[in-house]
């Protein structure tokens, strides 16, 4: 099982992140917005830390200070395509 499978199965992802100069364990939960699933936390984070996490997991992140996608990916890469 990959890290992506684990995240999607559990609906959450816990990561050690640096906030205000201190390492903390933060749990991100999966939310869906505009047909895109994000790992979400309602806190502020340093953008380089989020980019590293997005590249590691392969999933986009959404926090109070914005949305971050893995390298060479955009929102269209994650939008759910449904036919009506």
Residue-number span of the structural domain to which 9 is assigned = 3-78
Mean pLDDT confidence for 13-31: 88
Mean pLDDT confidence for 27-37: 90
Angle, in degrees to the nearest 10, between helices 47-57 and 3-10: 100
* pTM for the structure as a whole: 0.82
Residue 84 in any domain: the answer is no
Write out the E strands in 2-83: 12-19, 22-33, 36-40, 61-63, 66-68
Residue 61 in any domain: the answer is yes
- Given the DSSP bridges, would you call strands 61-63 and 66-68 parallel, antiparallel or unpaired? antiparallel
Residue 49 in any domain: the answer is yes
Under the banding of pLDDT at 50, 70 and 90, the label for residue 83 is: very low
Check: CB of residue 42 under 8 Å from CB of residue 62: no
Residue 57 in any domain: the answer is yes
Q: Assess whether pLDDT exceeds 60 at residue 71.
A: yes
Residue 83 in any domain: the answer is no
Q: What percent of the chain shows pLDDT beyond 70?
A: 93
Number of structural domains (the chain) is 1
């Amino acid at each position: 099982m990959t890290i992506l499978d684990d995240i999607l199965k559990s609906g959450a992802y816990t990561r050690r992140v640096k906030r205000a100069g201190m390492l903390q364990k933060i749990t991100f939960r999966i939310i869906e917005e505009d047909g895109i699933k994000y790992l979400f936390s309602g806190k502020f984070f340093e953008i380089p830390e989020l980019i590293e996490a997005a590249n590691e997991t392969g999933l986009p992140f959404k926090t109070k200070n914005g949305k971050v996608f893995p390298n060479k990916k955009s929102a269209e890469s994650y939008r759910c395509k449904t036919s009506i």
